[in-house]
Structure 1
Amino acid sequence: MERTPEGRSGGIHIFPDFTQDVNSKRAAFREARSLLRTCTGVRYGLRYPATLVITPEGGQTKSFESPKDAVDYIKKKLSPG
């Protein structure tokens, strides 16, 4: 196994370093992301700085900058868990 210069085995990990403001905006989507985990066939992700993108199976991609709007959409259109 190949070693990194620091002497540890494994790959290099890069972690984003967001400002506190961006982190809090992204954290506001916690409930929406939790609901999405229970939905089958739905792809989702957070784009910078804090936009939740949801793609239902066979559906059209939706983007949300408001956590409340995202939760309302998930509960009405995607019927989680």
Structure 2
Amino acid sequence: MKKFKIGLSLLLAVIVSGMLITWKDQSYSAIDLLENANFHVENSTVTLHHIDTDTEDIFSEMKISKETQQELIQSFQQATFKKKSHKNY
């Protein structure tokens, strides 16, 4: 019975350790994070907004060139993101 308890404890420790390592190193792609992202459309575009709380319309669209839009799309398509823990600073 004592060997069974030790074996069960070791098995549980291995399973919990594996789960913690998996959750710690989990990364996400842009498609995972952006629900409506489709990087395979023919004429893809990016819209950026500027937030200015001093104006009546706080959200205003920023003008960016088509070349910059394509660079942003390619960068985001290949990017990976890691989950970070929330800490009070």
TM-score by length of 2: 0.27
Higher helix fraction: Structure 1 or Structure 2?
A: 2
Structure label with greater radius of gyration: 2
TM-score by length of 1: 0.29
Which gives a bigger RCO, structure 1 or 2 (Cα 8 Å, sep 6+)?
Answer: 2
